[in-house]
Amino acid sequence: MTSQAPPRSIHQLFDLTGRTAIVTGGGTHLGTAFAESLAELGAHVYIASRRRELCLEVAEQFRDRGLQVTGLGCDATDEGQVAAAVGQVMADHGRLDIMVANAGGHRTTRHPPDGPLDEFYAAFEMNLVSTYVCAQEAAKAMLPAGRGSIITIGSIGSRLAMNPRTYTPRFQRSGAPYLATKAGVPNLTRALAAEWGERGINVNCICLGQIPPPGVDPEQVEIFRTMNALQRTGVPQDVKGAVALLASDAGAWITGQEIMVDAGWSIW
């Protein structure tokens, strides 16, 4: 099908005024940056995580800046809780335009061959199950409207193994379960893009490089810096452009893609 839309300026293409978004894991670090980006472009953003009180506090800080942000409590691995979060957005606004399935993580205490199996199951739930649940519940709201953007979050570990020799003993590096489950996120993204593309939903994956949170060992931060092509440490604002592109009409002709936002770590 070919359609001719009236020309719009680049500012109009990125404008999210009147749209709504959910960002899971939105109360800390990169989730907060994703939420900030969408809210600054005019969207009403709901930040959701298991840490409800934190989300409420962060949302209030955003509102103090004039941004439209609401905090929610939501376990992204629980279908009922995600459905309730989507339901609240629909009740408040009658539409859900953007889902950023950011919630994820790892719990690594020992590495192969001594890696506990329960840590593998936990990584599977945190990274793949949560992404699948959030995408499905968002799609249920988006499909009747024939529009929407679902953004999943991968990692350089979606594509690469991590060299154990590049981590200091003080840093809790991601283990094989995290890498394996994050590797599934881009292909899940492609599968969902194939399922829903004809019905107006774009599904894309942002694979992030090392953006250390506060408190990480400075020696480890310096190692991360020297391992990327740009030779600088990543900061949360470095993720804002990619999510803005994929959530807005500026990225309307992009779907099923895996975008590396990693300062060139993955090019060598």
Show which residues are catalytic.
Answer: 178
Sorted by sequence, the CB contacts under 8 Å of residue 201 that are 6+ apart come out as 139, 142, 143, 147, 148, 149, 150, 193
Q: Name the token pair of 255.
A: 């779907």
Residue type, 21: A
Q: How far is CA 153 from CA 16, 204, 212, in A?
A: 20, 9, 16
Q: Are the C-beta atoms of 81 and 49 separated by less than 8 Å? A: no
Q: Are the C-beta atoms of 205 and 192 separated by less than 8 Å? A: no
Q: Give the number of other Cβ atoms within 10 Å of residue 66's Cβ.
A: 8
Token pair 């009180």 is found at 53
Give the closest residue to 254 by CA, choosing from 205, 199, 208, 202.
Answer: 202
